[in-house]
Structures are given as C-alpha cells and as structure tokens.
C-alpha cells in the first residue's frame, strides 16, 4: 500500500506516493531522479549514499523515506549555488581528491556536515568524520587535503 | 629533458572532476529509460551441482514479471580464454560450479517483483562433491570441475632459462620457503550494473560499468549470436575497476537477453553483497620458492613452483599465470631461473586480473625471501637490491628488454630515506616495535599480446578552437581522460579546457583492447599524440599559406599559431581553424592516430619467451611500521616511494594513483581476506571484509627518478599499478625488521602476530 509523503529536498517540496519500506536513497534516486547520491552497499557500510538531514550527515540507505518527512534534506545536487561550486566541491576538484568519483558525493556531504559544525577541524577530526566513507581509488590522502583546504577557504570568507 | 610545456607535467585538475563533484556524472546504475524493466539474477546455493531441472512457471505468473531466462534460452556460448578455450557460460547450462554461479534471470516492472519471482523459480540440483582447496583439487581422486581438465588444471606454465641445477650448486647460500596469499577483492564501490536495449531492427545498445567495453562489444555479439555490427556499447562513467570490470559478466549478458525477450529496456544492478561472493577476486596462491645467492649477495638462481587458485572458471587466468612466472625475471638480474605454474580450478568464485595482475603474489614471495636471505647472510637489504638491480640496456633471460630504467637511483634514494627515518624515530618504543622495510618492482607499460592490441585516436577540430578527442580507452578512475586530453592540448598548442573528451561509443570511437596492464597512457597516449600531430600538420599547411611562411616554421602554442622566431607574425588558433574551414571548398580538420610498439616479440605464455612491453617502470617502496606486541596490531606509520614512471604527465593525478595503490596495499597486507567455509563466502560485506578507511591512511613521500622514456608519450611510462607490487612486501619486511619475524602468509592478522611472538 503506497502512502503519501512530503519531502523537502534541496529547498524544493515533493509530494510523493511511496511504499512505506522505501528508503530515502530509493526515493531520492528513483522517485525524484537525484542520482548524484550513490548506492554502494545498501547496508550502511560504505558511506556513498550520505546526505544531510537537518544538518546531520545520514546514510540515506538506512533512513526510511517516511522518516525524512518534514526534515530538510540536502543532497550533492543542492550544494552548488547559482552555478558556483561549494567550496568543498571546488577543493575536491582542485586538490585531486576525485578519481572514479563514485564515493565523492558521499565524501563531500560528510565533509559538509563536518565543516558546518566544526569549521576548523584537525586532521584527526577529518579522518574520524570520514572513517565511514570508503574509497578504493585515492588512499584518502588528497581527500583529507581537500577538506583541510576547504576549511581554510571557509575561514577566509 | 625538461621542456617548457603548457599542459604536460602540470598539476591540472581532472577533466571529469567537476561533474563528479556535483553528482552530475552518470554511472550505469544511474541510467533509466521509459518503459524500463529491472532484472535480477538467481544464483546457485551449492558450490558444485548438476542442474536436473529448472521450473520457471510459478515465477512467470507473478504479476509484473515480463520474462524469465535460463541457460536453455542461450546458445551456450562460453566466455574466458586468452590462449585457451572459454569455459564460462553466462547462465549455467548443465552444472553450477560455485556458490553464486548464475542460473536464471528475471525481468520485471520493478526490483521487488523481480526478487519475488526469483524465490519462485524451482531448481532441482543433484549436489556433487566440491573441492575448494587448490592443492586438494589437483589430487587424482578430486572431483572434476570441468570435463576437459584433468587434475582440475586450467592452465600451466613452465619457464626455464639458464642452468638452474648447476647454478644452485655454485651458490653459497640457498633457502626454500613456502608463501601463501589469500583471496582478496578489487574493492570498487560501484557494483556491476548494466542497461541494455534491444530494438526490433535487431540491434542491441548497451551501457555498463565496463573498464574494457570492447570485451563486452565482442562477447555480446558472440553470446547473442548476432553480427558485431548489431552491437553498440556506450560507456558511462565507471566507479572503479582495478581489473575486476574487464570482462563481460552474466549481469551484462542477462540484461541484453532479457531485453531481446521483452522488447523493453532492461537494467540490472547487482548488490555489493553479490559483487563480494559471486564475481571476481585476485588469485590466491601457494608459492614454493627457492633462491640461491653468492656470499656477496649476487642472486644466481631461482626456482619457483606456483599453485594459483583460479576458482570455477578460466577467466583470463592464462595471462595471470604467465605474469606470475615471468615477473620473477624482474627487477633483479637473474641468470638462471625456473618457474613452474599451475592454475587450478576450485569450486569458488573465479580469479582474474587485479591491480598488478599476478605480479604481486610472485614478488611478495621473492622480496620477502630476499630480505630473509640478506638478514641471515649479514647483508644490508638496500645493498643486496642495489647489487642485483637491472640496468638500462639489459635483457632478462625470458626476453624483457630494459630500456629506460631508474631502478638503481630509486634504491639509492630509498636507502637515504631509510637512514633519515632511522634517525627520526626510535626502533623500540616499549611494547610498540618499529621497523622499516623496503621492496622493489618492475612493471609493464602495457602488454603487447596476440590479438588486437593496438590503440587509436581521432581528433576533430572545431571553429572555436575546441578539440573533440575520441579514443577507445576508458577512464575507470585512473585519470586517463585527463592525461590523454593534456597530450592532445600540448601537441595542438591549445589548453586543457579546450579539449572535449568523448567517452567510448563503439559506433563512433575507435577499437581498443581496454583498460588493463597500465596500457592506456602509454599506448593510447601515443595514438593521441599522432592524431594531434596529424591534425596539426593539416592546420600548419593552412597557416603557412595565411602567414606566408615556411610550413616547418609554424609554431602552435597556447592558443596561437605563429612563425618561429617571430611570435608577432601569428593568428589565434581559432581563427586558423576558421580560415581552414571557410576558405575555398572548406577543410574538415580530422586527425587520426594509431599506435603499437614496433618490433616487440609477443610473449608465448607456455615458454614465457618474449618482450611483453616497450617500456618497464621501476621503483622502490619503503614502509615504516609499528607493531604492538601486546595486541598484535600492526600500523603502517608512513611510507615512501621512489618511482620511475618516466616523465610524469600530471603530477597530481599520478600522486593520487600512487597513494591509492599504496593504501590499498596496506589493506592487502594486514586486513583483507575473503573468508570461505566450504565454498561459502563468510564475509560478503564491507564491515566484515575490511578495506582501509581514512583511519588507515598514513603520510606518504613520493619521489621520482630522473628518467625519460624514448617511446612513451612525452617520455611517460606506467604509474600507480606497479607500485602495489612492492607495497605489500615492503610492509612484510618492515614487520620482519620490527619484531624479527618474516611472515610468509598475507594478510598478517593480529592473531598471527601474537602466535608468532609466543613461539619466538
């Protein structure tokens, strides 16, 4: 039995008819068409599906869409404003933190949640925040460097 | 050779980075089409069984199910090979050979309906005795997994050069050890995914997560029994491959077959769990190795006996086995050697290429043993490597010709790093013991093998000065789209942002073997250089006319075309293109380039003779570890690599490759292992199969040797793949240095460390 839910994603309201067991990830990707959020494992183990819900980084594969009702959801597609990349996206590009790119949206969203709470994290804090986001390509070195540099850009604003 | 380039050698961001940072880049699983159906695969629950009957009638009755297919709906094409007969049906015909073998596929209006239907397919199996251990599989009375393969041997190699027996008699020191490497996985985060559309004109269009899409292009035609001209393979972005996305798989085939049966687009995305137990792995090996040296440390002879667990099917295992054996010849001088290899079928998931392809297993054994030998003989591990290091101009006994080679320099520099680190950190910090290990490698810059192995590029020049570049190569994350674009930009005298890199579309882009063996930059890079030179030559003729200058005096640089020595006598590049296109009857500027190395003797897998590559990369890896003697836990605290990749084309991209390879190697050495019980994978999840996370990342120092390759594009060679060969033994040797125990099995778990310390 499908149910009606209202979701607020990247500032837009969506009225959707969904199955109660559908995850936020399913709904973002299949019902709304926001495929920037990736599914790596579907079990909360890889971090690829990370989005921000009311300021917290969450694994959208572990959140039911109906649990997300009334919450503010930010996905990778909502980061760039007026054609300008977010400072984190910009840093990921500039410091070579992206290779295959499949983990990148999740990495960027986890980092975004970190920087909005802790604008000047130490290296250890960055590593801890990102420890649930797996990447096989980069060895994490340039990802950590990008987050560190983005935190400096933010500070300079 | 340092030239003043505009694009080459610069730390330029990747051409695909922005669309990947915004989530706009589309991967196979992101694609959808009107009317699209979703597919799922039914897999064998038994490691070895005969299929007696498959009843799909109940599944077909489920509302929303549009088609169910089994092996009976296929022509029985068997995939796999390279120098041997294929043996892997995409959907099982008579038998299943491992837990996860695909038996049937369903297409339905959504994934849930497809899953519901899978549950209703009744398969009657006659369970057969299974064998999951490669040594047991070789026994006379072992169950036979493939009819044609006696003793379950899927391929064997026997390489012998020099007089091994005589050489061992002349040695002052000989030792024999058995090494074991466990199965590991490629670790890409994007699961296998495919979307296929069959239309009634008899064409199939295919989008899949394929690092080597032309494998799929050919095999779709063969397996569907249609002409090649009826197949179109289009490549979306690829979420990592590392060797595990070369071949066409059952997911790809089933999407196409179900689309043919339903007349609808069909997408299949497998779960990560399925990737873990039902797809590919790196060959686990048991290696008996004997090395003989003179007392001054000169290696005189080596005798290796390899048993490689190939799993249920051949895949490209013949090549894997050849590489394992042949790369004992590199990177040290080895006048007498023998390497006997057996690739054995077992009832487990099939083994294939993975970063370093076969070489990591062999070099782990050789580098660990060399370290033990050095220690026992009282020789310095740096000196012993320096003494035996190959030099430019040498030829290995199997025929690898060493051209550019910075190995000696890399060992010397690595030695300096070790000296510095020794001074910086104390060896013994109470319960934590520190150690430093090193290891060397040599690797191919693209194999030249039998069959289609050349590279090609096409360049089209636009009137705004933009360039369309297409090749048949894919970027699975390694950065080749960027590096190839840099090459085109440099030759044509434009900027990187002027290049539009076209991803593979088999209808349009040139034929290419694929992304493997570190061949893309080297092979396709040369093809791109030639294509760009061709286009530049056509434009130079127009420029010579327009500028009233000699053809050979035309210079292309940073979006301008001018006469050598008189930069003022010039015009913008875009204007030149317009003059060419608009003048007279008009010119279409199209550059074409094809490339393969000349005069290379293609390797013979059985004898091992031949020169597989036109250039080899070299390097030395240093790893510092801290072993906690109370918990058995090992941490890699820092690493350094001194690396001969010729001239780096993009340092930032190159560093990223090396860093990823190095941290991956930490996982392979310390934590990663596919654990199985009776053929059942016990850890098919990222929680239980422990790949490195940010917490395992460590500082890395990256240094280059001063080398430039004559054949490589702008002097470049392989990077990022070969280093993984040396990372693992460098860590193993670091642990040896720390606690005096040389482990001969990876991964080295805390329990192994504690047990070994107790026994010591």
The predicted structure's pLDDT at residue B1: 46
pLDDT one digit per residue (tens) for chain A, 157 residues:
899 999 999 999 999 999 999 999 999 999 999 999 999 999 999 999 999 999 999 999 999 999 999 999 999 999 999 999 999 999 999 999 999 999 999 999 999 999 999 999 999 999 999 999 999 999 999 999 999 999 998 654 4
The predicted structure's pLDDT at residue B645: 95
Both B76 and B205 in one domain: the answer is: yes
Burial class (CB in 10 A: 0-12, 13-18, 19+), A17: exposed
Query: Is B352 part of a structural domain of the chain?
Result: no
Q: In chain A, what residues touch B186 (CB-CB under 8 Å)?
A: 136
Of B426, B429, B470, B440, nearest in space to B621 by CA = B440
All residues at 6 or more sequence positions from B574 whose CB lies less than 8 Å from its CB, including other chains: B463, B464, B465, B559
The predicted structure's pLDDT at residue A156: 43
Q: DSSP string covering A11-61, please?
A: TEEEEEEE-TT-BHHHIIIIIS--TTSPPSSSSSSS-TTEEEETTEEEETT
CATH of the domain spanning A87-156: 1.10.150.120
For residue B290, give the 3-state DSSP assignment.
Answer: strand
Both B56 and B106 in one domain: the answer is: yes
Q: CB of B330 within 8 A of CB of B103?
A: no
The predicted structure's pLDDT at residue B83: 60
CATH number of A3-78: 3.30.1330.200, 3.90.580.10, 3.10.20.30, 2.40.50.140?
3.10.20.30
Angle at A136 between CA B663 and CA B267, to 5 degrees: 165
- Cβ distance A131 to B694 less than 8 Å, yes or no, reads yes
The enclosing domain of B470 has a CATH number of 3.30.365.10
For residue B250, give the 3-state DSSP assignment.
Answer: helix
Q: Is the dihedral of CA B339, B345, B346, B351 positive or negative?
A: positive
- Cβ distance B655 to A142 less than 8 Å, yes or no, reads yes
CA nearest B654 in A: which residue?
A96
Both B107 and B249 in one domain: the answer is: yes
* DSSP 8-state secondary structure symbol assigned to residue B505: B
The predicted structure's pLDDT at residue B81: 74
Both B532 and B657 in one domain: the answer is: no
Q: Where are the domains of chain A?
A: 3-78, 87-156
Nearest to A103 among B18, B189, B655 (CB): B189
Q: CB of B636 within 8 A of CB of B624?
A: yes
Which residue do the tokens 């590279």 mark? B455
The predicted structure's pLDDT at residue B604: 86
Query: Is B134 part of a structural domain of the chain?
Result: no
Establish if B274 touches chain A: CB-CB under 8 angstroms: no
Establish if B186 touches chain A: CB-CB under 8 angstroms: yes
Establish if B566 touches chain A: CB-CB under 8 angstroms: no
Please tell me the distance in Å from B213's CA to the nearest CA on chain A.
16
Both B468 and B590 in one domain: the answer is: yes
Rounded Cα distance, B749 and B672, in Å? 9
Both B123 and B202 in one domain: the answer is: yes
The residue segments making up the domain with residue B264 are: 31-128+190-239+245-278
pTM to 2 decimal places = 0.97
The predicted structure's pLDDT at residue A1: 86
For residue B183, give the 3-state DSSP assignment.
Answer: coil
The predicted structure's pLDDT at residue A157: 47
Both B396 and B468 in one domain: the answer is: no
The count of domains in chain B is: 3
Establish if B11 touches chain A: CB-CB under 8 angstroms: yes
Residues B678/B682/B684/B689 CA torsion (nearest 10 deg): -120
Task: Give pLDDT tens digits for B704-728.
Answer: 999 999 999 999 999 999 999 999 9
Rounded Cα distance, A111 and B26, in Å? 22
Bridge partners (DSSP) listed for residue B701: B640
Both B563 and B433 in one domain: the answer is: no
Both B481 and B394 in one domain: the answer is: no
For residue B407, give the 3-state DSSP assignment.
Answer: helix
Please tell me the distance in Å from A20's CA to the nearest CA on chain B.
13
Establish if B20 touches chain A: CB-CB under 8 angstroms: yes
Which residue do the tokens 């040290």 mark? B332
All residues at 6 or more sequence positions from B608 whose CB lies less than 8 Å from its CB, including other chains: B157, B159, B322, B325, B326, B339, B398
Q: DSSP string covering B539-574, please?
A: HHHHHHHHHT--GGGEEEETTEEEETTEEEEEEEHH
Query: Is B380 part of a structural domain of the chain?
Result: yes
Both B755 and B685 in one domain: the answer is: yes
Q: CB of B599 within 8 A of CB of B388?
A: no
Q: Which of B222, B253, B278 is the last residue of a domain?
A: B278
Both B37 and B82 in one domain: the answer is: yes
Query: Is B158 part of a structural domain of the chain?
Result: no
Both B43 and B116 in one domain: the answer is: yes
Mutate which of A40, A87, A100 to test chain B, going by most B C-beta atoms within 10 A? A100
Bridge partners (DSSP) listed for residue B619: B441, B643
Q: Which residues of chain B have pLDDT under 70?
A: 1-2, 83-84
Establish if A92 touches chain B: CB-CB under 8 angstroms: yes
Rounded Cα distance, A25 and A109, in Å? 14
All residues at 6 or more sequence positions from B12 whose CB lies less than 8 Å from its CB, including other chains: B482, B486, B496, B650, B652
Establish if A125 touches chain B: CB-CB under 8 angstroms: no
Q: Which of B539, B561, B595 is the last residue of a domain?
A: B595
Of A45, A13, A46, nearest in space to A136 by CA = A46
Of A110, A127, A100, A111, nearest in space to A59 by CA = A110
Spell out the SS3 assignment of B68-85.
Answer: EEEHHHCCCCEECCCCCC
Q: Where are the alpha helices (DSSP H) in B348-446?
A: 359-377, 381-388, 407-424
Mutate which of A38, A77, A101 to test chain B, going by most B C-beta atoms within 10 A? A101
CA nearest B650 in A: which residue?
A96
Task: Give pLDDT tens digits for B485-502.
Answer: 999 999 999 999 999 999
Query: Is B651 part of a structural domain of the chain?
Result: yes
Query: Is B184 part of a structural domain of the chain?
Result: no
Q: Is A11 left (phi over 0), alpha (psi -120 to 50) or beta?
A: left
* DSSP 8-state secondary structure symbol assigned to residue B264: S
Residue B60 CB-half CA count within 13 A: 10
Query: Is B490 part of a structural domain of the chain?
Result: yes
Q: In chain B, what residues touch A38 (CB-CB under 8 Å)?
A: 27, 189-190, 239
Distance of CA B414 to the CA centre of its chain: 26
- Cβ distance B11 to A137 less than 8 Å, yes or no, reads no
Please tell me the distance in Å from A70's CA to the nearest CA on chain B.
24
């Amino acid at each position: 039995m499908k149910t009606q839910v209202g979701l607020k994603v990247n500032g837009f309201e969506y009225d959707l008819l969904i199955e109660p067991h559908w995850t936020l990830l399913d709904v973002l990707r299949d019902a709304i068409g926001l495929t920037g959020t990736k599914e790596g494992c579907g079990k909360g183990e890889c971090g690829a599906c990370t989005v921000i819900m009311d300021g917290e980084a969450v694994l959208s594969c572990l959140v039911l869409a109906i649990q997300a009702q009334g919450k503010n959801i930010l996905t990778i597609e909502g980061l760039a404003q007026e054609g300008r990349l977010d400072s984190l996206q910009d840093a990921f590009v500039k410091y070579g933190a992206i290779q295959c790119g499949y983990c990148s949206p999740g990495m960027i969203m986890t980092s975004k949640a970190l920087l909005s709470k802790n604008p000047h994290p130490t290296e250890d804090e960055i590593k801890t925040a990102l420890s649930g986001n797996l990447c096989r390509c980069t060895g994490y070195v340039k990802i950590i460097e990008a987050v560190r540099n983005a935190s400096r850009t933010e500070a300079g604003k | 050779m340092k030239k003043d380039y505009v694009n080459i050698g610069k730390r330029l961001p990747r051409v695909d980075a922005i669309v990947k940072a915004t989530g706009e880049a589309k991967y196979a699983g992101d694609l959808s089409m009107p009317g699209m159906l979703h597919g799922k695969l039914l897999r064998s629950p038994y490691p070895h069984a005969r299929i007696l009957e498959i009843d799909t009638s109940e599944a077909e009755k489920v509302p929303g199910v549009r088609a169910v297919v089994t092996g009976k709906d296929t022509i029985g094409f068997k995939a796999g090979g390279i120098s041997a007969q294929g043996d892997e049906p995409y959907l099982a015909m008579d038998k299943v050979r491992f837990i996860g073998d695909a038996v049937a596929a369903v297409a339905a209006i959504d994934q849930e309906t497809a899953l519901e239907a899978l549950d209703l397919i009744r398969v009657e199996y006659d369970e057969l005795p299974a064998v999951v251990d490669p040594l047991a599989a070789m026994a006379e009375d072992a169950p036979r997994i493939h009819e044609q393969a006696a003793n379950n041997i899927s391929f064997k190699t026997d390489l012998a050069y020099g007089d091994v027996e005589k050489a061992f008699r002349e040695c002052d020191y000989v030792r024999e050890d058995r090494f074991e490497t466990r199965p590991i996985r490629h670790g890409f985060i994007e699961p296998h995914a495919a979307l296929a559309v069959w239309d009634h004109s008899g064409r199939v269009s295919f989008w899949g997560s394929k690092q080597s899409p032309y494998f799929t292009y050919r095999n779709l035609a063969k397996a569907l029994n249609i002409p090649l001209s009826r197949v179109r393979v289009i490549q979306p972005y690829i979420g990592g491959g590392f060797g595990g996305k070369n071949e066409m798989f059952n997911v790809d085939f089933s999407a196409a077959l179900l689309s043919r049966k339903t007349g609808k687009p069909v997408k299949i995305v497998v779960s990560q769990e399925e990737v873990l137990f039902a797809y590919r792995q790196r060959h686990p090996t048991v290696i008996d190795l004997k090395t003989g040296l003179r007392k001054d440390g000169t290696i005189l002879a080596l005798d290796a006996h390899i048993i490689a667990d190939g799993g249920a099917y051949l895949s490209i295992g013949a090549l894997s086995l050849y590489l394992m054996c042949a790369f004992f010849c590199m990177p040290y001088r080895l006048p007498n050697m023998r390497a006997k290899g057996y690739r054995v079928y077992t009832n487990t998931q099939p083994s294939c290429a993975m970063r370093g392809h076969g070489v990591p297993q062999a070099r782990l054994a050789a580098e660990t043993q060399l370290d033990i030998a050095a220690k026992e003989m009282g020789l310095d591990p740096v000196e012993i490597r320096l003494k035996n290091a190959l030099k430019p101009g040498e030829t290995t006994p199997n025929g690898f010709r060493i051209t550019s080679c910075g190995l000696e320099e890399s060992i010397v520099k690595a030695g300096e790093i070790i000296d510095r680190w020794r001074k910086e950190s104390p060896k013994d910090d109470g319960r934590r013991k520190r150690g430093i290990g090193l290891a060397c490698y040599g690797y191919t810059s693209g194999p030249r093998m039998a069959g289609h192995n050349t590279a090609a590029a096409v360049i089209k020049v636009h009137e705004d000065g933009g360039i369309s570049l297409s090749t048949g190569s894919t970027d699975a994350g390694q950065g080749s789209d960027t590096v190839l674009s840099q090459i085109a930009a440099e030759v044509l005298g434009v900027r990187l942002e002027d290049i539009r890199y076209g991803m593979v579309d088999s209808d349009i882009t040139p034929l290419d073997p694929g992304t493997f063996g570190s061949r893309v930059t080297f092979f396709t890079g040369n093809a791109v250089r030639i294509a760009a030179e061709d286009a530049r030559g056509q434009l130079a003729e127009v420029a010579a006319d327009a500028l009233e200058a000699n053809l050979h005096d035309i210079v292309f640089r940073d979006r301008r075309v001018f006469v050598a020595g008189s930069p003022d006598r010039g015009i913008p590049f875009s204007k030149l293109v317009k003059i060419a296109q608009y003048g007279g009857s008009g010119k279409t500027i199209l550059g074409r380039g094809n490339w393969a190395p000349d005069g290379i003797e293609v390797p013979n897998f059985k004898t091992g003779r031949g020169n597989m590559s036109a250039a080899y990369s070299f390097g030395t890896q240093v790893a510092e570890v801290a072993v906690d003697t109370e918990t058995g836990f090992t941490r890699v605290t820092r690493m350094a690599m001194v690396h001969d990749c010729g001239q780096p084309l993009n340092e930032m991209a190159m560093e990223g490759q090396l860093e990823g390879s190095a941290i991956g190697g930490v996982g392979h050495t310390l934590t990663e292992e596919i654990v199985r019980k009776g053929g059942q994978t016990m850890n098919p999840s990222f929680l239980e199969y422990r790949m490195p996370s940010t917490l395992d990342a460590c500082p890395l120092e990256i240094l280059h040797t001063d080398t430039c390759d004559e054949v490589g594009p702008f002097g470049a060679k392989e990077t990022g793949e070969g280093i993984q060969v040396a990372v693992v033994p460098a860590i193993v040797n670091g642990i040896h240095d720390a606690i005096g125990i040389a482990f001969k099995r990876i991964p080295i778990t805390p329990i192994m460390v504690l047990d070994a310390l107790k026994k010591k």
